[in-house]
Structure 1
Amino acid sequence: MMNPIEANGNMFETQMVYGLPTVAAQGFLPLYNSLVTDSFIHRKPTAAIKSESSLTYNNLPLPRKRSRDSAMVSFPSPPHKSNETCSRFSFLGHDISLHMEQQQLDVDRLISQHMEKMRVEIEEKRKRQARKIMEAIEERVTKKLRGKEEEMEKIEKINWALEERVKSLCIENQIWRDLAQTNEATATALRSNLEQVLATAQQVKVDKRNRGVGLEAAADDVDDAQSCCGSSWDVEKNGDGGRLCLTCRVEESCVLLLPCRHLCSCTVCAPRLHICPICKSPKNASLQIKMS
């Protein structure tokens, strides 16, 4: 047991036995969340309590009120020993330096493991996110490429169909051109033949006209001789001496048929006649004659 001493009233002027050493230990790493040091550093200062054995020691803070004028922290001063003893941690007279160092190493190891674990998890999460992003981008790019390929295939099909259509139109155009040239040659030949035929017909007509002048005069005389005014064929006459219609043989003949000029029809039968009943020539017109 250590000799108890009274608190000096100033925590910076006292030497600590149960907390940090008076001489800083250069061979130790800084403490992280040490239970012993945290309990001494963060606890409220308490006054010295006397036990039944008339010894003074620092106990954990009790849940009771104390006056403001009491001392902040009271640490019993250790006996003056060598520097080796002062550089160690002691608690209740026991050297806990190795235990503190081991705890510090364990804490550092746990922190390092936790940090490494967190780093690995963050790295894995980052990789997963990057992989998902790359997959999404790849899928989107693949869809766009597939759509572009389909569009290109459609355009190629349309181009092929248009090329085939152009080829067929070129062939059809060539066929129509050849046909037009053939028709033009045929039309030219027909026009030439027609001109020749017309010229020949005109010449024949002129020749006939020149030869038929005398024949027409003779025919006119014959027609005049055979007309109604003194015709040479026998005609039926009614009781009054008038000539009867050769179609109905009832009414009197009073219509002159042209161009043959035969008086052989009545007013009733003349519109229905197309040829002359006597000479069988075509009828062009008719003329009604009133005889007194």
Structure 2
Amino acid sequence: MFQPFEQPRQQEVFPSSSAPAFHPTPYLLDQSLLLDMTISVASLMQTYQGEMHQFVQLQNQRLVQTLLEQRNQHVESLLNNFQAKVAVLLKAKDDELTIAMMRQQELQEKLKTAEESKAMWESIAKQNEAQILSLRTVLQQIQQPQFSTNSGGAPISISSNSRMEVKKEMKPTKDGNDKIILPCKCCGSRNACQLLLPCRHLCTCKQCTDSLTACPVCSSKIAVNSKVLL
């Protein structure tokens, strides 16, 4: 069908010679071109597949690295939050422990103070007990007949171990009986009616005793005084 048109072209392209020449047909040219194109496409596809494979691997590596970084950041954030909460709890426990130790120290100090106060009050109680016993002894001695009815100018001894001696004066009362007068060692005008303890000296009146801190006879400190009715 194309022979009349193609023959002049073939003659122009391939001039005539004495030797016979190979004249490719259009079909062979198309096959050769198709083969070259197929090889080129296959090579391009192979190259493209290799590049795509490398790209996918690179993206996978980047994705894995990104995921690892995100996981590490998440874990680090969790650890930081956990450490912050633990630090708050530890601080609260430390504060509670400090408060408990302070309370324990306060209780120990209060206990020590209470023990000292107990010992002091026990000592005071023993002293008061001794003073009461001494006062009872003195009162018993005062209530003895020889103390109230002793006559003459002999001195009156308040107790067996007391060194104070007071001269007895006789003063008549309305009923005709004599009354013993023990003059105050301070003012000398009023009757001595206060028993000083622990020295057990009966030597001062009520008015003078209120302003005294030591016995006028032996200079010992006055712990307590008691009124004696003669």
Normalising by structure 2, report the TM-score.
0.47
Q: Which has the larger radius of gyration?
A: 1
Higher helix share: 2
Q: Using CA pairs under 8 Å that are at least 6 residues apart, name the structure with larger relative contact order, 1 or 2.
A: 1
TM-score by length of 1: 0.38
